[in-house]
Structure formats: structure tokens, C-alpha cells
DNA sequence: AACCATTCCTACCAAACAAGTAGGATATTA
DNA sequence: TAATATCCTACTTGTTTGGTAGGAATGGTT
């Protein structure tokens, strides 16, 4: 399951993409329009900024903007930042690999193979950028 | 992420499938060979029995057998029994549907659409039976 | 009958995680 | 200086995860 955190992050980025302009967009505006708890959203936006997905401007009239181009922000990247691995089991994760404690032989593990396939099936979809979502 | 519970369940069923024979297989045998905590496995096997995936025989020389044919036991079924929904967000789940609280319009929600696609990509892989896993 | 291996069942537990909330410090503009 | 923002740390509350404990019931073996 995707966490609400990740879902809110994607929503916020979509909103930001859709409302790009001269002025940055405040967390409050996003929270109101997307019905995301304000303080929770603040935390999420901060994390996205720290990972250089967006940038912020402080003070009155401040807010957030996309740092990268919307075409280069992949949903999979956001999920990895906020939730961690895409793969359903750690031993087939590219970015968060971990060996199964109880695994006798990774090479022949049928569960590993299956969930490797699952990952391969999911990735092309999740690798879409926020600009591509329709 | 898949829970350990679900992973153990699949492992147990694979072991059971591979060791089908005259005598049923004990939980202890499965636990030893697959390195699954014994008491935890007991719980899992009970749940699978209650969902009519396998049957048990009590007493000495007792144990478990597959109730359904291995060709008809889909990995997706096991996950649904043990972990719940396959879909990453509830609003695209077929079997565990729930509306998003904050969703303004499901029909036009881009996140919903994307994760609908993800689900569609995952399902053919997870719909494989335990007999098909190589 | 006694023993033993097994399933069956309920309950408990500790640690981690999820989904926020609280309170205030800091920066910017008007 | 007032108002509006971001920024940051810490706290809280409930749920889930990954087990463990203890024993009752069942059935085969001797």
C-alpha cells in the first residue's frame, strides 16, 4: 500500500505543476485545494525540498515551486523518497536491496523471481512523470 | 511491501505442493525446511485452512495438504487472504474498494488512473498459480 | 492405558510505523 | 511592525507487524 504521505506528495506536485506561474504556491493553498492536512503537508513539502524536487521561498508571498522540470519528476522517484522501495520484497529492490534472512539461494528462489517480474511490470507505469499524468 | 506473513504463506504452499504425497506434511517440517518461525507458521496455516486453501489432519502423523489443486491456487488469492488488497490505493481495488476521503472526483483523478494502471500491470503476474512458479 | 506428536485456539507482547498535531523560530514583504 | 510564509523539532495516538506462550483437543503407537 502507498502511504497517505506519498499520495499527498504526488497530489501536491501535480497541483504545483498545474499552477506554475510567476508567484510560488503556498502550502496553505495546496492544503486547501487538495484537502490535505496543513501541518502534515508542510512536513511532506520539506522532505521534497530536501531531496531537491522543489524549492521554496520564505516570508510573505512565499511558497513552493518545482525545482526540476515536471517532465523529469517521475512518480517512482517520489515514492522512493517518501515511502521507500517500489518492489514488494526487498531482495528484488534496485534502490533498497536487502537480502532475505531465510533465503537459501537467491538465484533459484521462485518467490524472488515472481516478485522480480512484478517489479518489472510496475516500473514502466510508475516511471511516468507528473507531466504525463492525464 | 509484502508482509512476512504473506511471504511465508506462499513459501509454505510451494513446499506443500512440492512435497505432496501419501502422508500430510507437518508444520514443523515446513518451518524447519523453510526457516519460518514455527508458532508463527501455525497461525498462517490455520488462516489458509479457514479459507479452504488447505486441509489438515490432527494427531500424530498429522499435518497439512493442499485442498485445492496447485494449478488453481493463485498467488494473488493468497496475498488477498493474508495481507488484503493487491492495489496500492484502496480506490482502485476490486476486492477491497474504499473511496478516498479527500477525492473530489474519482472519474478524473489522475492518481487513481495511474494506480489503476499499476494494478492492471501487476495482476497478470500475481495471478499465476503456485504450480506455475519456476 | 499411557505416551507422544500433532493440530487448534486464545491471548499476549514489543517494536515499528502511520498519520497526524503542537509550538515556536526564522525570514520576507508591505 | 504587522502579517504571512517557511522551517524545524518534538510529541502523540492508534494500528500493524512479527512474533511468543500456554495449553486444550485429537489421533496414532506401544
pLDDT digits (tens, 9 = 90+) for B26-51: 999 999 999 999 999 999 999 999 99
B85: alpha, beta or left? (left if phi > 0; alpha if psi -120 to 50): beta
CATH number of the domain within which A37 lies: 1.10.10.10
Is there a single domain that holds both residue B48 and residue B25? yes
Is there a single domain that holds both residue B81 and residue B57? no
Is there a single domain that holds both residue A45 and residue A79? no
Is there a single domain that holds both residue B79 and residue B107? yes
Contacts with B11 from chain A: Cβ below 8 Å: 111
Is A14 in the B-facing interface, judged by CB distances under 8 Å?
Answer: yes
How many angstroms is C1' of C3 away from CA of B38? 23
Per-residue pLDDT tens over the stretch A115-128: 999 999 999 999 99
Is there a single domain that holds both residue A22 and residue A53? yes
Calculate mean pLDDT across residues A6-18: 98
Is there a single domain that holds both residue B119 and residue B91? yes
Task: Band the pLDDT of A6: cuts 50, 70, 90.
Answer: very high
Phi, psi of A100 (to 5 degrees): -75, 135
Is there a single domain that holds both residue A83 and residue A45? no
Last residue of a domain, one of B66, B86, B105: B66
- The residue segments making up the domain with residue A53 are 4-66
> Does the model's pTM come out above 0.75?
yes
Instruction: Give the gap in angstroms from C-alpha B10 to the nearest C-alpha of chain A.
Output: 8
C-alpha span between A16 and A18 (Å, rounded): 5
Last residue of a domain, one of B49, B66, B83: B66
C-alpha span between A97 and B108 (Å, rounded): 35
Is there a single domain that holds both residue B60 and residue B83? no
Contact of A38 with A27, CB cutoff 8 Å: yes
Return the DSSP state at B24: -
Is B67 in the A-facing interface, judged by CB distances under 8 Å?
Answer: no
Q: How many domains does chain B have?
A: 2
Per-residue pLDDT tens over the stretch A56-66: 999 999 999 99
Is there a single domain that holds both residue B80 and residue B125? yes
Q: Which residues touch strand D (CB under 7 A)?
A: A 26-28, 39, 42-43, 45-46, 49-50, 56-64; B 3-5, 37-40, 43, 57-62, 83
Is B57 in the A-facing interface, judged by CB distances under 8 Å?
Answer: no
Amino acid at each position: 500500500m502507498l502511504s497517505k504521505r506519498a499520495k499527498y506528495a504526488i497530489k501536491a506536485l501535480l497541483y504545483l505543476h498545474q499552477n506554475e506561474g510567476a508567484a510560488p504556491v503556498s502550502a496553505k493553498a495546496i492544503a486547501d485545494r487538495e484537502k490535505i492536512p496543513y501541518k502534515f503537508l508542510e512536513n511532506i513539502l520539506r522532505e521534497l525540498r530536501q531531496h531537491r524536487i522543489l524549492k521554496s521561498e520564505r516570508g510573505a508571498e512565499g511558497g513552493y515551486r518545482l525545482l526540476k522540470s515536471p517532465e523529469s519528476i517521475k512518480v517512482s522517484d517520489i515514492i522512493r523518497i517518501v515511502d521507500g522501495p517500489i518492489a514488494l520484497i526487498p531482495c528484488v529492490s534496485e534502490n533498497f536491496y536487502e537480502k532475505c534472512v531465510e533465503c537459501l539461494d537467491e538465484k533459484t528462489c521462485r518467490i524472488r523471481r515472481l516478485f522480480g517480474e512484478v517489479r518489472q511490470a510496475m516500473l514502466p507505469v510508475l516511471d511516468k512523470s507528473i507531466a504525463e499524468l492525464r
